[in-house]
Amino acid sequence: MEQPQPPRTLRGVLELNFAWAWVAGGVMALATALIAAIAELPVLDPDAVVAGVPAYVRMPAIVLGAIALDIIGVTLWRAWRDREERRGLQWREVTRDRWQRTHLLFALSGVGAWYLTYATFRNLKSYVPFVNHHNWDAEMRKVDEWLWFGHDPAQVMHDLLGTGWAAHFFSGVYVVWIVLVPASIAIALVFVRNRPASSWYVTAVAFDWMLGAAVYFALPSLGPVFTEAQRGQFADLPQTYNTHLVEVLWTDRVAVVSDVFGAGTLQTIAAFPSLHCGIMVTICLVAEYVGLPRWLRTLAWAFLVLTMLSTLYLGWHYFVDVLGGAAIGSFAVWAAAMATGNRVGLRPRLMRSEPADSETVSA
């Protein structure tokens, strides 16, 4: 049975229900509409259609599938726990306990805010070459050589690790990251039964998208693997999913720049900052602040290191992009803490979740 909720202030309700993530999405949607109108550019579904299903249907479906998995898992666990009492499967009881109306609306609001920021981010990223024609790759490369004492980071890694097994390994890391982000959103909204923690994380990722898009317009760059000056040093890498992705993204960029309406797709090449690294930093910091088990936190930090190495080895980013991404990911966590009320003064700290807020029901 749903517990009575204690009185809340308007500010408290907004902090727990992704208000600032929706604000970020709203600002990005307005920017998308204005740039599209002024520069005469299309607004597209960022992932087009996969297997006949548009992205705005797929993401809610992922969350609803996670909800179903949560119900099935808890129901089976309770049946096993109470097997001596022969209580059988308790589908309705589990659904009523774990998915009360308020928590269901909370999860759907979170995925809606996330998707709005993601969809507008992808469109804004595609607009960059039409708004700012300057390219900062040469400057980025010089900064990298200065930071690496005259050496190129990717070449150093190729010399140390070779261009065989390491290419396959880092390509795998890149693929895992692509799956990890939407999966982490679903986990935060479905399996983490703590509203302040979930709101903090989803809002932080929304801020990552917003800040990343803004910097793309300020400092456009392509990344080593796409620049004429450095492209050749990645030619010896074996065929992997990564090499296929590089070819697809470059083909899309050429098509979009040549005929933005006729291409029917978005270009998604932008190097500084690295949001692969930025969002992984966000994941690691939120994991620390909310107190996830040590093995999960260790795994997150290890994957962050692998993500940083993979972006350099495969040529997606300069080392300065990694630093910029880490700065944005860190700031997004702090800003989201301030926005969601997870703070003491100006210090991030997970707020205590009352039972009525988290609706955590013992399995």
Q: What one-character-per-residue DSSP string does 75-111 give?
A: HHHHHHHTGGGT----HHHHHHHH--HHHHHHHHHHH
Q: What is the DSSP letter of 353?
A: P
pLDDT at 348 (0 to 100): 92
Q: How far apart are CA 158 and CA 167, in angstroms?
A: 9
Question: Taking the domains of the chain in order of start, what are their residue ranges?
Answer: 10-358
Q: From the DSSP assignment, how many helices (H) and strands (E) are in the chain?
A: 14, 4
Structure confidence at residue 17 (pLDDT) = 73
Nearest Cα to Cα of residue 208 among 286, 99, 137, 134:
286
What residue type is assigned to position 152 of the chain?
A: D
Contact call for residues 194 and 105 (beta carbons, < 8 A): no
Q: What is the pLDDT of residue 288?
A: 95
pLDDT at 127: 96
Mean pLDDT, consecutive 10-residue segments, the chain of 363 residues? Answer: 45 68 95 95 74 60 76 74 60 72 82 90 95 93 94 94 93 89 86 86 96 96 91 89 92 92 90 95 95 93 96 95 97 95 91 49 34
350 touches 290 (CB < 8 A): yes
Measured CA to CA, the distance from residue 272 to residue 136 in angstroms comes to 9
